[in-house]
Amino acid sequence: MAREKINGKAVSNAEIEAWANEAEVGYPVEQLRKRGRKPLGDGASEVVPVRMDQTLLDALAARAEREHVSRSEAIRAAVRDWVNVA
């Protein structure tokens, strides 16, 4: 009996051997998951640190939670509205 587990489920040596054989043959590139974050707009994104006082940060967090979005998504939406960019 194999002692290997994946997500708590026992994995047999035969399964491991089958996966190894499959990997050695190779996978079509189009079947592989792309890594990294999805693009947000017209190209690479840049991280922009922003300082906020606690009152503003609390209000942002509360609104983002009500809208079911991340704080970053809420900030991007606010900036887009402010500069009138869709």
- The model's pLDDT over 46-55, given as tens digits with 9 standing for 90+, comes to 889 999 999 9
Q: What digits encode the pLDDT tens for the residues 15-46?
A: 889 989 988 888 887 777 777 767 777 777 88
Q: Specify burial of residue 74 (Cβ count, 10 A radius: 0-12, 13-18, 19+).
A: middle
pTM (predicted TM-score)? 0.53
From residue 84, alpha-carbon distances to 10, 30, 66, 79 in Å are 55, 37, 23, 8
DSSP per position, 28-44: -GGGSPPPSPPP-SSS-
Domains of the chain by residue range? 1-30, 48-86
